[in-house]
Chains A and B, each alone.
Chain A
Amino acid sequence: MTERNLHPLSLTQYFDAPEGYRGVFGWICGYSADAFFLNDAAERFTRETAGQRAAQGEIKLALMLDPGQPPLTLVDVPGLIHLPILNASRQPFRLMHAKVALLGFRDIAGGGRWMLRLIVSTGNWTRQTLEESLDLVWCIEVDSEAMEDDREDQDLELRCADICAAWSLLGFLHGLFDLRVLGAGATRIAGGSQTAIQQLAGWLLLCSLRAGASSRFLDSRHASLLAQLPLAIRTHAGDTKRNYLAMGSGFFEGPSLGGEPAVPPVLERIVSNLIREELLVRAPSVDIFVNPAACQAVASALPAIQQREGWHVRKAAPMEHLFRSEHRSLHAKFLFGSRAREGSNNCLKPWVYLGSGNLTGPGFTSAMSRQGGNLEVGIVFAPEGLTWYPDRDGDPGTLITYRLPIQWETQMISVGELLPGGAMPPAAPPFVAPPIAWLEWEAVDDGGWLNSPSSFPVSWEVLNASGIPCHQDLKGFIWEGSQPRQVHIRWSDDALGVQSRIVPVMDVFGRLAATPLTALDFEEAWWALAGFPVAASETDDGVDNDPESLKPGTSNGGAKGGVGAYPVRQMMELIERVAERQTEVVQADWPAWCTRLEQTLSRVVNSPVLDYFRTLGLNPLSPLRGNAFRPDYAEDGKTVEGRVYETVLAQIEAHWQTAGLAEIGDRE
């Protein structure tokens, strides 16, 4: 990532794979999210369009939200699974509010290089963050090249520690959310998403070996953010009494009931704690930055705040350099402390807190608990090279007002300028784990069976497209019609009553909620393989952008493609190209290549070219078993890679009905 001073990235741009890399797997937690945002983020992370991701049916991102958020399905956001909470009545937090993404990337060329990116945002993973709110972000990266350098590097140790702290929080969440679906397909060749998850975990392990003792990443699992703030400031920004403090938040405490409105206690406590810890002078200059249209208790407390010497309530800066005249509402949560000295334009000994925690009781001064505190995340760090006002050199990148929505030109004077704003919307019923996490499909002529590999000991049923329970026999639920990408299931929960949920369906290739694979002709099959490891273009090209045009059976090519004048040559060309391509595949990509090979070649099954070979009694795949056509590490059945490959060839031959036919060149 290169810094573009005048064009700060939008939150989805933080998901962009670095050039030459692609996303392997990422964990995201947050309060809320929507499909608009996530599809854009997933596209940037994987470098694959929604159509391509839907055709692959692989999970690349796992999302854990507050249980009160409505579920998102794999059809809504292909490649991303929204995990339900295991037990809503025993959730250990009031709200799940932490907004963190930990992303793993690997280089496309296959040189084994990798990169981890940690994003902490004050904004939710929603369209609103992109288009309407004013939010902040903090982001670091660690890559394999830095790790290979043995020299002491304190910044690397710090970044590794931050990533480990975030990983510890995500690990804690893994215990609360239902991860079963991530194990779907684990027994298959490419190992489903497990392979990617383990790869990411491996890099995190390497990170932990270089991690220093302290991290900038705080969470509220064991103590409130406020309780951890002084030590964090001391550790990262040094032990000085600052004389300036800015406090901004998208939400403040609710107005107190009865009596004369006083300074909101959370703001009071932040200031008094910092003074007590000797990180702030006794009479500091304090600015409170608000969204005037919704600033809760601050609205009525304005007179009380104004009585404090040096305290001001100010409107969040519109940050015109970013948003021009467009109005944005403050959603960011931040603190900024520094020393200002007469005659110096530099912010001295500055520190910044930014994170999910609003300057409220549940957000900032309480540890996580069922009724009291949210699960929050904050970053406390020491920014470098900041100035108060534009320098003569005029680099806006150093300006504090460029980084944070603060300004000193105007202040709020009368109570009439401020409004408390509306209340939080009531929480929706929790998104809890269904008895099963996915269903497996077994096809028959006009439909198929839906089966679950594992289930909680609760009875449940599959609903058909009209909402009526499907019949069940010994093989599973009977589904009429073509394979669904996902289905509704219904069960009765002791605490919550009758529940219904959409669960993804896994097809015979191990793809989850994937779009149907259409027949391919030879040329198309080659293109689907040629671009590997980049995903093949699939529904991207649906005629008139029409998903229905890709129904199986309504072949877009395949059988229609016809048999050329030289079917043997057509086939052998494909085989030669496959051989040539696969000898270049790097070892780490081999399972994925095998999956791609099986999915692609199985789809030319209707081709008349294959009919021709069957008539001749020849198995066209036989040359691919030869050593010369395989990479060294999969040359024969002695390696795992070799065995995996041979299994795949056997599966394609079964599809093609060419198993057991004569090998090419074997006739004499």
Chain B
Amino acid sequence: MNLKWGALGPGSVESTRRVRTLGLAASTRQFNDLAVPGMGGVWFGRQLFLSTLGVLVAERATARGHRATPIVVANAIEALACWLALKGAHRAGDDRIRGSVKLTGVTLDDLRFANVSRPSFYVTQPMRMATVTALPALGLVQATGSRFNSFSCSDEGLALVEAMGGSFRPYNRDLVEHLVQWVLGKDDRVYTDTLQAALSPLLPLPDDARILLQEVLYQGAPGSPAEDRRRRSEALNWVRVRRLGASPCGWDEQPTQISDAVHWADLRAGAAFFMTRDAALSVLDELELIIGSPECRYDLGGSLPLGLTDRLALLRSHASAFLGLCHWEEGASAFCRDVLTPNDDEVLRRLVHRDGRILREVSEQICAGPAFQGGEATNEAVSPGTEMGPPANDPAWPRGISYRIRNLWWLSLDLDGTLETWLHPDAADATR
């Protein structure tokens, strides 16, 4: 076809690019690592499986002369897994599937590896990214560096792939071998019930895999710090006792499962920091709403609208609370001191400067940055780290606690085989 014309089809742009890090990404990561070390953004078991499988398949394909990197292969396998899940029975908005927008309209003809591995085929932030720190920390891969491309599958990783996929034989081949053939471009047949059952992120973990993953969480990678192992194990023990009807828990009562006062203090300081950061984001969201549309500007130096005064007051109270805990994390402390400056305009200016993506300052005026949505911003800009997360309707935790605790709670449900029931209680009721 040499000429195309007519009405443009609908499109959409991923909203995850509206991430405001506020220059706090390092502190955020630090506090999350102190809370539950080595978990990245993982919240259900199949995330670890799909990434490990990607590493393994890439390794085998490389051995046969293929040049796709582990990142490309793992992303493609994840995209395929989500596509297969979308083809089967699923609920709209299930957080275990990504790319439901981009993958609509993908047909069987589009499923060649060469096509699936294009960056624009699938989301730019696959679930794989949530596993980059977890895979080596849990010993599922061996790593010469901390980048995904430097991973190779470990014995534990192989065991996980075997426990998850060993019983599936697409086209009478081993699962891994079939995917290697797909990557090599020798077999494009990937729409089968067997592959769907093996790869779909929506299915519960097989028993062997649950036992193996639990062990992996407790033991971690060989040679990993004992402190990390202890914090992760104790956190897992804690979230496991908090099931249906668990009484709300506050910061004043350290749970018995968390034996170390320093760990609890780190969790608490982290929470104070996250609340300060979220309060800062809410100031910026309000400012964005006030500005409203990209042509408008906000003049510094005038009197502050009420919405901003309230939010700034809340921000300052959280910041003081953090500093009162005297934690050693320097980036967070500097940020809190920053927003305690008495001059409101100066605080706004500093926050906008830290943002730079959604709002910008131009000579005493605040105006729209490149990711501005203004009054159309129905959802608040996501704070980093949480965008890959699970739904938030879980038992009451101490305020502001690291999202990794909640993730671990969901993961523990998966390990116990009850994740589906918790995610979709109404469906479970209906089938009873």
Chain A residues with CB under 8 Å of chain B are 1-3, 7-13, 16, 19, 34-37, 39-40, 43-44, 47-50, 70, 72-73, 76-77, 121, 123, 127, 129-131, 134-141, 155, 159, 319, 322-323, 326, 332, 352, 354, 379, 381, 383, 402-405, 425-426, 428, 465, 498, 500, 520-524, 527-528, 530-531, 537, 540-541, 543-549, 556-558, 560-561
Q: Residue on A with the closest CB to B362?
A: A500
Complex CA–CA separation, A123 to B9 (angstroms) = 12
CB-based contact B26/A9 at 8 Å: no
Q: Which of B2, B6, B41, B371 is most buried by chain A, counting CB atoms within 10 A of its CB?
A: B6
Given A13-B9, A131-B12, A136-B7, are A546 and B25 neighbors across the interface (CB < 8 Å)? Answer: yes
Q: Chain A residues with Cβ under 8 A from B259's Cβ?
A: none
Whether B313 is near chain A, meaning CB under 8 Å from some CB there, is no
Complex CA–CA separation, A561 to B147 (angstroms) = 11
Q: Chain A residues with Cβ under 8 A from B120's Cβ?
A: 16, 40, 43-44, 47
Which single member of B68, B114, B119 contacts A19 (CB below 8 Å)? Answer: B114
CB-based contact A130/B10 at 8 Å: yes
Whether B214 is near chain A, meaning CB under 8 Å from some CB there, is no
CB-based contact A139/B11 at 8 Å: no
Whether B294 is near chain A, meaning CB under 8 Å from some CB there, is yes
Given A13-B11, A530-B67, are A557 and B1 neighbors across the interface (CB < 8 Å)? Answer: no
Complex CA–CA separation, A531 to B66 (angstroms) = 10
Given A537-B69, A543-B132, are A40 and B13 neighbors across the interface (CB < 8 Å)? Answer: yes
CB-based contact A121/B8 at 8 Å: yes
Top 10 A-B pairs ranked by shortest CB distance? A557-B145, A10-B11, A130-B11, A35-B370, A403-B6, A546-B25, A8-B9, A76-B370, A527-B149, A36-B13
Given A19-B114, A49-B124, A530-B69, are A520 and B145 neighbors across the interface (CB < 8 Å)? Answer: yes
Q: Contact string, B46-78, partner A, CB cutoff 8 A, digits 1/0? A: 000000000000000000000111111000000
Given A381-B5, A556-B146, A557-B145, are A426 and B11 neighbors across the interface (CB < 8 Å)? Answer: no
Complex CA–CA separation, A12 to B8 (angstroms) = 10
List the one stretch of B16-24, B163-171, B200-208, B409-417 in contact with chain A: B16-24
Given A43-B120, A522-B144, are A354 and B9 neighbors across the interface (CB < 8 Å)? Answer: no
Chain B residues with CB under 8 Å of chain A are 1-14, 17, 19, 21, 23, 25-26, 28-29, 32, 40-41, 67-72, 105, 114-115, 118-120, 124-125, 129, 132-133, 144-150, 293-295, 353, 357, 362-363, 367-371, 384-385
Given A40-B13, A541-B149, A549-B25, are A2 and B1 neighbors across the interface (CB < 8 Å)? Answer: yes
CB-based contact A544/B29 at 8 Å: yes
Q: Chain B residues with Cβ under 8 A from A548's Cβ?
A: 21, 23, 25-26
- Chain A nearest Cβ from B419, distance in angstroms: 23
Q: Chain A residues with Cβ under 8 A from B293's Cβ?
A: 425
CB-based contact A1/B4 at 8 Å: yes
CB-based contact A531/B69 at 8 Å: yes
24 A-B pairs whose Cβ atoms sit less than 8 Å apart in the complex? A1-B1, A7-B9, A10-B8, A11-B11, A12-B13, A47-B119, A48-B119, A70-B367, A121-B8, A123-B8, A131-B10, A134-B8, A136-B6, A136-B7, A326-B10, A402-B6, A402-B7, A426-B295, A500-B363, A524-B145, A527-B149, A537-B148, A543-B40, A544-B132
Add 10 more A-B contacts to A76-B357, A140-B2 (CB < 8 A).
Answer: A3-B4, A12-B11, A35-B370, A40-B13, A123-B8, A323-B10, A379-B5, A520-B145, A530-B69, A540-B71
- Chain A nearest Cβ from B294, distance in angstroms: 7
Which single member of A36, A129, A541 contacts B148 (CB below 8 Å)? Answer: A541
Q: Residue on A with the closest CB to B114?
A: A19
CB-based contact A39/B5 at 8 Å: no
CB-based contact A403/B5 at 8 Å: yes
Given A541-B147, A556-B147, A561-B144, are A425 and B5 neighbors across the interface (CB < 8 Å)? Answer: no
Q: Chain A residues with Cβ under 8 A from B115's Cβ?
A: 19
Given A13-B11, A326-B10, A561-B145, are A35 and B69 neighbors across the interface (CB < 8 Å)? Answer: no
Which single member of A37, A49, A134, A544 contacts B40 (CB below 8 Å)? Answer: A544
Q: Chain A residues with Cβ under 8 A from B6's Cβ?
A: 8, 136-137, 402-404
Which single member of A39, A141, A561 contacts B17 (CB below 8 Å)? Answer: A39
Which single member of B8, B21, B105 contacts A129 (CB below 8 Å)? Answer: B8
Q: Chain A residues with Cβ under 8 A from B357's Cβ?
A: 76
CB-based contact B144/A527 at 8 Å: no
Q: Chain A residues with Cβ under 8 A from B5's Cβ?
A: 136-139, 352, 354, 379, 381, 383, 403
Q: Chain B residues with Cβ under 8 A from A354's Cβ?
A: 5
Q: Residue on B with the closest CB to A401?
A: B7
Complex CA–CA separation, A9 to B367 (angstroms) = 33
Q: Residue on B with the closest CB to A130?
A: B11
Q: Residue on B with the closest CB to A34?
A: B370
Complex CA–CA separation, A76 to B41 (angstroms) = 26
Q: Chain A residues with Cβ under 8 A from B29's Cβ?
A: 543-544, 546, 549
CB-based contact B3/A139 at 8 Å: yes
CB-based contact A322/B9 at 8 Å: yes
Q: Chain A residues with Cβ under 8 A from B369's Cβ?
A: 76
Q: Chain A residues with Cβ under 8 A from B105's Cβ?
A: 7
Complex CA–CA separation, A479 to B357 (angstroms) = 23
- Chain B nearest Cβ from A91, distance in angstroms: 20
Q: Residue on B with the closest CB to A428?
A: B295
Given A43-B119, A544-B25, are A138 and B11 neighbors across the interface (CB < 8 Å)? Answer: no
Q: Chain A residues with Cβ under 8 A from B149's Cβ?
A: 523-524, 527-528, 537, 541
Q: Which of B21, B23, B25, B29 is most buried by chain A, counting CB atoms within 10 A of its CB?
A: B25
Q: Chain A residues with Cβ under 8 A from B40's Cβ?
A: 543-544
Given A47-B118, A428-B295, A543-B132, are A524 and B124 neighbors across the interface (CB < 8 Å)? Answer: no
CB-based contact B13/A127 at 8 Å: yes
CB-based contact B7/A403 at 8 Å: yes
Q: Chain B residues with Cβ under 8 A from A500's Cβ?
A: 362-363
Given A47-B119, A561-B144, are A134 and B7 neighbors across the interface (CB < 8 Å)? Answer: yes
CB-based contact A37/B4 at 8 Å: no
Which single member of B8, B13, B295 contacts A9 (CB below 8 Å)? Answer: B8
Q: Chain B residues with Cβ under 8 A from A528's Cβ?
A: 149
- Chain A nearest Cβ from B110, distance in angstroms: 10
Q: Residue on A with the closest CB to B27?
A: A548
- Chain A nearest Cβ from B8, distance in angstroms: 5
CB-based contact A49/B370 at 8 Å: no
Complex CA–CA separation, A195 to B237 (angstroms) = 60
Complex CA–CA separation, A73 to B69 (angstroms) = 30
Q: Chain A residues with Cβ under 8 A from B148's Cβ?
A: 537, 541
Q: Chain B residues with Cβ under 8 A from A558's Cβ?
A: 145
CB-based contact B11/A541 at 8 Å: no
Q: Which of B1, B4, B105, B357 is most buried by chain A, counting CB atoms within 10 A of its CB?
A: B4
Given A524-B145, A537-B149, A546-B25, are A8 and B133 neighbors across the interface (CB < 8 Å)? Answer: no
Q: Residue on B with the closest CB to A535?
A: B119
Q: Chain B residues with Cβ under 8 A from A72's Cβ?
A: 370
Given A130-B11, A524-B145, A548-B25, are A139 and B4 neighbors across the interface (CB < 8 Å)? Answer: yes
Which single member of B25, B150, B384 contacts A524 (CB below 8 Å)? Answer: B150
- Chain A nearest Cβ from B70, distance in angstroms: 8
CB-based contact B2/A159 at 8 Å: yes
Q: Residue on B with the closest CB to A498?
A: B363
Q: Residue on B with the closest CB to A141?
A: B2
Complex CA–CA separation, A373 to B129 (angstroms) = 50
- Chain B nearest Cβ from A353, distance in angstroms: 11
Complex CA–CA separation, A530 to B367 (angstroms) = 43
Complex CA–CA separation, A548 to B4 (angstroms) = 43
Complex CA–CA separation, A277 to B11 (angstroms) = 40
Q: Chain B residues with Cβ under 8 A from A523's Cβ?
A: 144-145, 149-150
Complex CA–CA separation, A185 to B105 (angstroms) = 42
Q: Chain A residues with Cβ under 8 A from B7's Cβ?
A: 8, 134-136, 319, 322, 332, 402-405
Which single member of B69, B70, B124 contacts A43 (CB below 8 Å)? Answer: B124
Q: Chain A residues with Cβ under 8 A from B25's Cβ?
A: 544, 546-549
Q: Chain B residues with Cβ under 8 A from A43's Cβ?
A: 119-120, 124
CB-based contact B145/A544 at 8 Å: no
Complex CA–CA separation, A546 to B19 (angstroms) = 10
